[in-house]
Structure 1
Amino acid sequence: MVIKKNASSILCSAALTVMLGLAMSAAAGEQKLTGAFDVGSAGNAQKFNPLTAPAGFSFYNKYFGTLALYDVGLQKIGGDLAQSWAYAKDGKSLTLHLRQDVKWHDGKPFTAADVKFTLELVKNPAMASVFSSRLKDVSAIRVLDAHTVLIELAQMDATLPDAFTSIMMLPSHLLSHIPAGELRSSNWWKAPVGTGPFKWTRYVPDQFVELAANPDFYRGKPMLAKLVNRYFKDASAASIALQAGEIQFSSMTLDQVRENQSTRAVDVIAGPSHVLNYIGFNNSDPRFKDVRVRQAILLAIDRKAIIRSIYNNTAILGNCVLTLPQYVPADINPYETSVSKARALLKAAGWHQTEALEMLTYYNDQASKDVVTVLQAMLAQVGISIRPRFVDGPTFGTLVDANKFSLVYAGGGNGPDPGTLIPLMQSSYAPPRGVNRMRVNLPELDQLFSAAQQETDDARRTALYQQMCRLTNAQLPWIPLWVGERFGGFARNVQNVIWTPSPGGGRYQDFPERWSIR
């Protein structure tokens, strides 16, 4: 968990919050915070449909709202637009009780009809939402009254509250007349109406989006008059702007953090990314079918040396697809580096390589380029030749979705609930249906995902996820490497900002209405 300075005024007593509000109110009308919210792996620059976006939530949730959000430590889920919820005893339904003091930016009340509309839109195949898999067990959505929603389930799904932290609510009264397929591609987002603390006011392509304070926000009018998301071609340009005082926030790479150590121009804060970096391979490629080949790749890599020399020990080893300590049992294989064992396994598997394997990655910062270069050298020691290819995120997605890849160096967001891995690893979500881009197909893994979704007892659910860790440690559907820290840079005059790295960004309560500039 990472909290910006003066966070105590955000999270403690109401009296202190009021005092802070009084102190800053005179200048609040003049305050504007500009950030590069879409720089880095959690960004989603100039993509404005939140139902089709796998990332970018750090800025989406400044003008849209979700039913639920995590706390800043990504440990506990609490209500946002939903005040509370409860499962039926048989697990076949979930009742949501909504806040009654929420208005859309056009002044209309937020109601159960909006929840029904949004969740049905997510489930509609014509929308092709990235979250459709998270609602696969939702059989019906019923409005009981203006502020109560009943979600009927084919079977218990304990991961729904986690899904609700990602799904932005959309206004039924403005969008329900537009077919789902058109909503995916139409320009409704040029004047989006949400429930968040800021209202959309202006968009200049390739330059910025400007938001203005929402005076009717249910937790109170924001202290900032404006919030701006400025676009940059790359992280280096954003870092230069941050150091020069042109913007007040940006994600930073490890290289930029090192550069800032001498100047101390900005405050840098760090936290675990909750993202597992891994080598993925095309599971439909017969060259990788033998588990001994996959084991050899992992054994050939000196991960500890990479963490020490490139990451300056700001990463921790990962040995299965899960990363939270409670889900990682002590009895899994640590895969200590052994070039000799790797060579023996490849020989036993009959490995024969006639041409270099392309390793595709969307990571373009210098540290990641150094990592790929070292991976290339380490794998060459056991007779596996790698040819790196660095592309942008959209190109990466296009290539892997079209099955035009051999190996990737990528990251998989775990988040606080392992259910987030379902669309990434369950066999039924291989493209084009979902984002199981590595074409993982392990029936036992599918069964564990399903069993964990239906389990309400925390201890038994944890045991299922530990078994999932053991399975993926043995079978290596992904080749796990490490979980790194991520970094955020803030101008020194920024106050009361809460920030923590999170997969896709922004699925936690960061109280942007309390942000201010000193």
Structure 2
Amino acid sequence: MMSTMSMKQAGTRMLTLALAALLGLAVDRGAAAQVFTGAFDVGAAGNAQKFNPLIAPAGFGFYNKYFGTLSLYDAGLRKISGDLAESWTYAEDGKRLVIRLRKGVKWHDGKPFTAADVKFTLGLVKHPDMASVFASRLSDVRAITTPDAHTVVLELAKMDASLPDAFTSIMIVPEHLLGKIPARELRNSTWWKSPVGTGPFKWARYSPDQYVELVANQDFYRGKPQLAKLVNRYFKDGSTATIALQAGEIQFSAMTLDQVRENRSTRAVHVIEGPSHVLNYIGFNNGDPRFKDLRVRQALLLAIDRKAIARSIFGGTASIGNCALTLPQYVPADIEQYDYHVAHAKALLRAAGWKQAEPLEMLTYYNDQASKDVMAVLQAMLGKVGIQVRPRFVDGSTFGTLTDAGRFSLVYAGAGNGPDPSTLVPLMKSSFAPPRGVNRMRVNIPELDSLFEAAQQEADDASRTAIYQQMCRVTNAQLPWIPLWVGNRFGGFSKKVGNMVWTPAPGGGRYQDYPERWTIEQAP
């Protein structure tokens, strides 16, 4: 059988692939046991060897192979539908959300999935000892009750229309196995290295620094997977993973632009690209007096020829961003475009009395060659207007430690907007500055806070869109971040892959990719 290709391009310009149709593979359903090996944690969307999904900012593309969430987006990141939840309904005043759960779902140990598991998981996310990255998304949840085994009721302080989006990130975990473990102990428990979920594949084994092996869940509620095993293989770097992909050792890996360019001559693998929905930006500590003057922030942006960088370094695979939001429907046409203008940037800095005794360190956790080229160009362009910077490349953990502590001047980073801009709440709302949250740039704009509140309380799509457009105007005018561009991301696939759905989503997932349908052509 061959699948049909579904590749839609709406306002998000997000690309989706059903690979079987693209590759034209005929799949023998009676073939021998199939093993699919991928480098699921290579690239910015991975979260290698960090197994607690409740504290994970990325890695969803593999977590949701063995865990389940209440809801998921479609592969085009446009519509939310139920996964472990069948439906959800808000009360008329918006202060109660009733979630109806899917029946007949089992945990991998055979125990039934129930409302108690959902209540337990959401409670864990809210528990301060878990320190979950999703806690802020549930801040308006005041009480959780379970009237029966398949119903969960959330009592809310106020309407929060963003909760279904939040649920796409929260992997539900088993109360019957974890309920007696204190949250502080569970956060870093070894249990996560042999977990029990509800997903299409079950955990089989973990070999540190080598791989995780999953096996088919025969009782998966949508049906037994076509693959017998799904393996996530670890690599020290993306180049090694790409070599393994080209050699046929693995069937999937994220790829960098440089690797994609190299592949164009050999055509060894199929490459699919699409907008990442991640805004790359220059961030700074908004509490630092050097950046208090708006003219300094404007000069930073005007000094950067973003169009030239998008053309020369990204080969036209990046689009310019002018506010913190990236989806076209949320970006009004009347915002400032901040076209490259060196003379204007210099004049603004003179007017602001800019003086610099030593170079400003610019941190980044991006370590691919294209990002290194970007950092070099940013250093040169900013230097032309009198802002001296010194690039510093660190890993993600070090970046988090330094920015949480406020020990930074500038950063080159990325923020996933996702299909719902409410994902920016923990990144930009003032109440989530460290240590409470991950507003590491210490953004503190009262009007922006009010807009976040208004959007969460608005159920009407048109009204929420208007609020988010105003949010774009505010971040465009006040520049709490220096917006740069949204780059494309790339996935490389073996020519033997069938029925695999993939889209370059923020964090690597939160969409329904039907892994139980994936196949791989067997050797003769």
TM-score normalised by the shorter chain: which range applies?
over 0.9
SS in 1 for 2:53: coil
Q: Measure, in 1, the Cα distance between the counterparts of 2:238 and 2:290.
A: 36
Query: Percent identity at matched positions?
Result: 76
Residue 223, structure 1, aligned to residue 237, structure 2: no
8 Å contact from structure 2 (residues 129, 184) kept in 1: yes
1:25 alignment partner in structure 2: 29
Equivalent residue of 2:485, what SS?
strand
For 2:302 and 2:186, how far apart are their aligned partners in 1?
47
Kept after mapping to 2: 8 A contact 1:359/1:387: yes
Partner of 1:515: 518
Q: What is the CA–CA distance in structure 1 between the aligned matches of 2:17 and 2:194, rounded to whole Å?
A: 32
Deviation string 1:434-487 (CA, Å, 9 cap, x unpaired) is: 111111111111110000000111111111100000000000000000001000
Instruction: Go from structure 1 to structure 2 and tell me whether the alpha carbon gap of 1:358 and 1:8 turns closer, same or farther (over 3 Å shift).
Output: closer
For residue 78 of structure 2, the aligned residue among 66, 75, 78 is 75
Alpha-carbon deviations, 1:266-302, whole Å to 9, x = none? 0000011000000001111110111110000000000
In structure 1, what is the equivalent of residue 435 of structure 2? Answer: 432
Q: Does the alignment pair 1:3 with 2:6?
A: no
Contact 1:24-1:223 at 8 Å conserved across structures: no
Cα 1:324/1:476, change in 2 over 3 Å: same
Quote how far apart the aligned CAs of 1:394 are.
1.1
Residue 98 (structure 2) aligned to one of 86, 95, 100: 95
270, 275, 278: which one aligns with 1:272: 275
What is the distance in 1 between the residues matched to 2:396 and 2:194? Answer: 26
Q: What displacement does 1:144 show?
A: 1.1
For 1:191, the equivalent position in structure 2 comes to: 194
1:298 paired with 2:312, answer no
Does the Cα contact within 8 Å between 1:321 and 1:480 map onto a contact in 2?
yes
Per the alignment, residue 206 of structure 2 pairs with 203
1:296-375 aligned within 5 A: 296-375=299-378
Instruction: Give 1:5 shift.
Output: 2.3
* CA distances 1:238-262 after superposition (whole Å, capped 9, x unpaired): 1111111111100000000000000
Asked if the contact 2:20/2:497 (under 8 Å) is kept, the reply is: no
The residue identity in structure 2 corresponding to 1:332 is: I
User: Which letter does structure 2 place at the counterpart of 1:293?
Assistant: V
1:178 aligns with 2:181: yes
Q: Which amino acid aligns with 2:114?
A: T
RMSD of Structure 2 on Structure 1 (CA):
1.4
Task: Determine whether 1:106 maps to 2:120.
Answer: no
In the alignment, is the contact (CA less than 8 A) between 2:286 and 2:441 conserved in 1? yes
Q: What amino acid is the match of 2:29? A: S
- How far residue 6 of structure 1 moved from its aligned partner, in angstroms, is 2.8
Answer yes or no: is the 8 Å Cα contact 1:63–1:194 preserved in 2: yes
Which consecutive residues of structure 1, in runs of 5 or more, have no partner in the other structure?
10-19
Deviation readout 1:393-438 (Å, 9 max, x if unpaired)? 1111111111111000000000000000000010111111111111
Q: 3-state SS of the aligned residue for 2:64?
A: helix
Contact 1:427 1:439 in 2 (8 A): yes
Deviation at 1:8, TM superposition (A): 9.3
Deviation at residue 4 of structure 1 after TM alignment: 3.4
Q: Deviations over 1:166-189 (max 9, x none)?
A: 000000000000011111022111
What CA distance in whole angstroms lies between the structure 2 residues aligned with 1:440 and 1:127? 24
Q: C-alpha distance in 2, partners of 1:400/1:7?
A: 45
Q: 1:158 to 1:366 in 2, by over 3 A?
A: same
Match of 1:43 in 2: 46
Counterpart residue identity of residue 186, structure 1? S
Out of 494, 498, 503, the residue aligned to residue 497 of structure 2 is 494
Counterpart residue type for residue 122 of structure 1:
V
Distance apart, 1:329 and its partner CA: 0.4
> For structure 1, which segment, 169-178 or 236-245, has the greater mean C-alpha deviation from structure 2 after superposition?
236-245
Q: SS at 1:26's partner residue?
A: coil
The aligned counterpart of 1:235 is 238
**CA distance, structure 1, for counterparts of residue 499 and residue 405 of structure 2:** 44
| CA distance in structure 2 between the aligned counterparts of 1:233 and 1:437, rounded to whole angstroms | 28
Q: Which TM-score applies when normalising by structure 2?
A: 0.95
Are the aligned partners of 2:227 and 2:516 in contact in 1 as well (CA < 8 Å)? Answer: yes
Q: Displacement, 1:25?
A: 2.7
Q: Does 1:287 align with 2:290?
A: yes
Tell me how far apart the structure 1 counterparts of residues 84 and 143 of structure 2 sit (CA, whole Å): 20
Query: Which deviations, in whole Å up to 9, do the C-alpha atoms of 1:209-237 show, x marking residues without a partner?
Result: 00000000000110000000000111111
Q: State the TM-score, normalized to the length of structure 1.
A: 0.96
Quote the Cα distance in structure 2 between the aligned partners of 1:464 and 1:299.
27
Whether contact under 8 Å (1:429, 1:435) holds in the other structure is yes
* Structure 1 runs, 4 residues or longer, greater than 6 Å off: none
For residues 49 and 137 of structure 1, what CA distance do their matches in structure 2 show? 23
How many residues matched? 507
Structure 1 Cα separation of the partners of residues 22 and 251 of structure 2 = 21
1:409 partner amino acid: Y
1:93·1:150 contact (CA, 8 Å) conserved in 2?
yes
